[in-house]
Amino acid sequence: MSSTFLLCSLILPAAFVLDWLMGDPRWKYHPIRIMGKAIQVLEPRFRALSPNQVLSGGLFALSLIIGTFCVTLILTRLFWTVSAPAGFVIETILVYFCISAKDLEKSAILVYRLLIEKNMEKAQKALSLIVGRDTDQLSEEAVSRGCVETVAENLVDGVIAPLFFAALGGAPLALAYKMTNTLDSMVGYKNEKYRHFGKASARIDDAANYIPARMSVPLIALASKILTGTGLRAYQTAKNEGCHHTSPNAGYSEAAFAGAFSIRLGGPAHYQGKLVEKPYIGPDSGKVRPGHIKKACDLMMLSSFLALLFLGGVAAVIRCWC
């Protein structure tokens, strides 16, 4: 076994451990912040390319995603050319930037603690930092529900999908995915401004998350089996109700969490003052309580670890073949 193969096999575990130990760094030159800045700067320029906003939006999304992949590929190849340890370090750091399990847990636990302290105003504000819905009028149960939902959904976006793409194509593909995800977060809205221009970004993100979202179901079910013995119920709920969501992907992990804890997630929510009707997922009598947030974080972290074990093995197999 060559030292290069061994180092390549350790990239995903090392990146995961970095996230677990340090969380997401508040760094001015964080790649995701650079992506956000690039989106802001280039959006008006691409809008001016064509009166057909679907076309210009498509060119915008593809240019940024492909550009991110190419720049990262050149950078990592340069470091691997210098030495295997240098290549390992840069790839590990870049993949680490793509994972956000620790910060997700930290943000959710803050909401949990504020609810336990009966500080609703601060709990609503803390939730607003991690969800897109309006939170200022939410009840304790609605805050708890929104927090559990975002933990379930971001398990896919912030952990499983980045690990999946890193396993398939290293840091270049992982960062290309994060650009896809960032584009969807910034321009993938169905409002008047982005209905046409952001359409391609939203569709590409849907396609990118298709496999990771469905991959999350058996991982969550296994983690649920280990933690609470409810793995079969989590799997069956995801299988039966995962498609009952306005998103083609988010419903699967949410349904698995709903089944694991016998709670009801989803339902109508206000976004920028407008009521958006969304179906409920899970049993009608399944009231969400603050304690479910902590349980959701435990389930998310164990599911993340299982994803690492599986996708780390996939990465090692791919390296063997290549």
Q: Report pLDDT for 271.
A: 85
Q: Which amino acid is located at 31 in the chain?
A: P
The pairing of beta strand 274-276 with beta strand 269-271: antiparallel
Helix (H) or strand (E) holding 269: strand 269-271
Q: Give how far Cα 38 sits from Cα of 6, 171, 179, Å.
A: 35, 19, 10
pTM of the model: 0.94
Residue 164's nearest CA partner among 310, 62, 65, 8 is 310
Burial class of 138 by CB neighbour count within 10 A (0 to 12, 13 to 18, 19+) = buried
- Domain hosting residue 305, numbered range: 3-321
Q: Report pLDDT for 2.
A: 65
Q: Give how far Cα 27 sits from Cα of 32, 97, 208, Å.
A: 10, 10, 27
Block residue for tokens 């930290």: 106
Residue 95's nearest CA partner among 182, 36, 24 is 24
272: left (phi over 0), alpha (psi -120 to 50) or beta: left
The domain tally of the chain equals 1
Task: Quickly list DSSP for 182-228.
Answer: HHHHHH---STTTTTTTHHHHHHHHHHHHHHHHHHHHHHHHHHHHHH
Mean pLDDT of the chain: 94
pLDDT in tens, 30-50: 999 999 999 999 999 999 999
The span from the CA of 319 to the CA of 4, in Å, is 10
269 forms beta bridges with 276
Over its length of 322 residues, how does the chain's per-residue pLDDT go in tens digits?
567 778 888 999 999 999 999 998 888 889 999 999 999 999 999 999 999 999 999 999 999 999 999 999 999 999 999 999 999 999 999 999 999 999 999 999 999 999 999 999 999 999 999 998 899 999 999 999 999 999 999 999 999 999 999 999 999 999 999 999 999 999 988 788 899 999 999 999 999 999 999 999 999 999 999 999 999 999 999 999 999 888 899 899 999 999 999 999 998 888 888 888 888 998 887 899 999 999 999 999 999 999 999 999 999 888 777 6
The span from the CA of 95 to the CA of 100, in Å, is 10
The span from the CA of 156 to the CA of 29, in Å, is 24
